[in-house]
Amino acid sequence: MKQETIYILHKNGAPSHYYALAYLAKENGLKVKYREFSILSKFYKGIVKGKPALSIKQFTNAWFLWSLLFSKDKKVVFGIAPFDPKLGGLLRFLKKHRIYYHTSWTHWDKSFHPKQKKNTPKVFQDWKEFLEIHCTHVFTVTEKSKTEICSNYNISEEKISIVHHSLHPQYLEYKSESRIPLSFLYMGRMTPEKGIKELLDFFSKHPSATLTLIGDGKEEALIKDYSERYENIIFKGYISEKKTLIHAFRSHQFLVLNSKRTTRWEELFGLIIIEAMSQGTLPISSAHSGPKEIIGESFGYLFEEGEITSTLATIIKDIPFQDEMRKEAIRQSKFYTVKEISKRWQPILD
């Protein structure tokens, strides 16, 4: 008997978003295959960037879309940004299949979303029909996402399941290590909307505390400049090895995210937050929709945009790293294991 396959169709593949689904599939004898729909742009990027493997990969993606026209009832988990005009074209390939929409977006009243070009009445109608008619089930990353979709579309609550992102199994182990006193860690994209300039300015004036930055992006040059001028600002660059990242969490007391809303983006979940929690590192974050659902006052700190300086100053001066908060962060992270989150993906087996 041929093994059933769950296909994940996403702009970028994004396997880190589907650890729990992959676990559920394996437990039930199913396969998971990742496919991407931005075929032409990825093919061109592979040529321009000198990455032939990326270009060659697009033949597999193209063949998958083509095969959908001549088959039916495949299970496809579809990750596409809200109100993306490409939806209408992609539905021509998907309409004979079982579509499970997966989204982390938290605003569905059309006022705030990433795909603001070509927002024609037809695009909005395509999305309405997609959510209300074509989707077999909807999986949202947060409670707010579910509430927003239910409020703006004629969809029953039973048709939507909340599936948070989950921890990679390597993060389930905790080993106590000596933490650097007054140590703060930033990990992620080095881009303006991450509020890195404010962090650099603050720590350049507070030499008693240490800021370590791990990642890459547009603001690397700025970060390198600060790290060369201030001993307490350390730039590690991009690191992919999980063992090294886990050590970074274990050796720092706090994770700090100073995310800034733009017209098209906010922090929608924050996988890095639960990774930090799993290693007893206390999260400090802007009170965006995602972090607000993860961080509790018993193990972390939320602040409104513009309050990062006062928040960090208070923590450094008056709030020492507390062992009880460390233990609670680890305990709360257990709600995000692949085993726990896989239960929420259960409707895909029906």
**Rounded Cα gap, residues 179 and 70, in angstroms:** 57
What pTM did the predictor assign? 0.92
Task: Identify which of 311, 257, 310 has the alpha carbon closest to the alpha carbon of residue 281.
Answer: 257
What is residue 12's predicted lDDT score, i.e. its pLDDT? 83
Q: Are residues 126 and 270 in the same domain?
A: no
Domain boundary among 148, 163, 178: 163
342 in a domain, yes or no?
A: no
**Rounded Cα gap, residues 36 and 86, in angstroms:** 13
Mean pLDDT throughout 16-33? 95
**Rounded Cα gap, residues 92 and 77, in angstroms:** 16
Q: Are residues 15 and 113 in the same domain?
A: yes
Contact criterion met (CB below 8 Å) for 148 and 107:
yes
Q: Are residues 81 and 173 in the same domain?
A: no
340 in a domain, yes or no?
A: no
Q: Are residues 73 and 184 in the same domain?
A: no
Question: For residue 127, what are the domain limits?
Answer: 5-163
Angle between helix 242-250 and 271-278 (nearest 10): 70
Domain count, the chain: 2
What is residue 2's predicted lDDT score, i.e. its pLDDT? 60
**Rounded Cα gap, residues 5 and 76, in angstroms:** 9
Q: Are residues 252 and 220 in the same domain?
A: yes
Number of H helices, E strands in the chain: 14, 12
Mean pLDDT throughout 81-103? 95
Up-side HSE of residue 21: CA atoms within 13 Å toward CB? 30
Q: Are residues 194 and 113 in the same domain?
A: no
Contact criterion met (CB below 8 Å) for 5 and 31:
yes
pLDDT one-digit tens code per residue, 150-178: 999 999 999 999 999 999 999 998 888 89
Query: What is the percentage of the chain residues whose pLDDT exceeds 70?
Result: 99
Q: Are residues 181 and 288 in the same domain?
A: yes
Mean pLDDT throughout 25-30? 95
46 in a domain, yes or no?
A: yes
Domain containing residue 34: CATH number: 3.40.50
* Alpha-carbon dihedral angle through residues 93, 96, 97, 99, given to the nearest 10 degrees: 70
Domain boundary among 116, 140, 163: 163
Contact criterion met (CB below 8 Å) for 184 and 254:
yes
Domain boundary among 103, 130, 163: 163
Mean pLDDT throughout 324-342? 97
Domain containing residue 291: CATH number: 3.40.50.2000
Task: Identify which of 257, 204, 260 has the alpha carbon closest to the alpha carbon of residue 232.
Answer: 204
Mean pLDDT throughout 294-307? 96
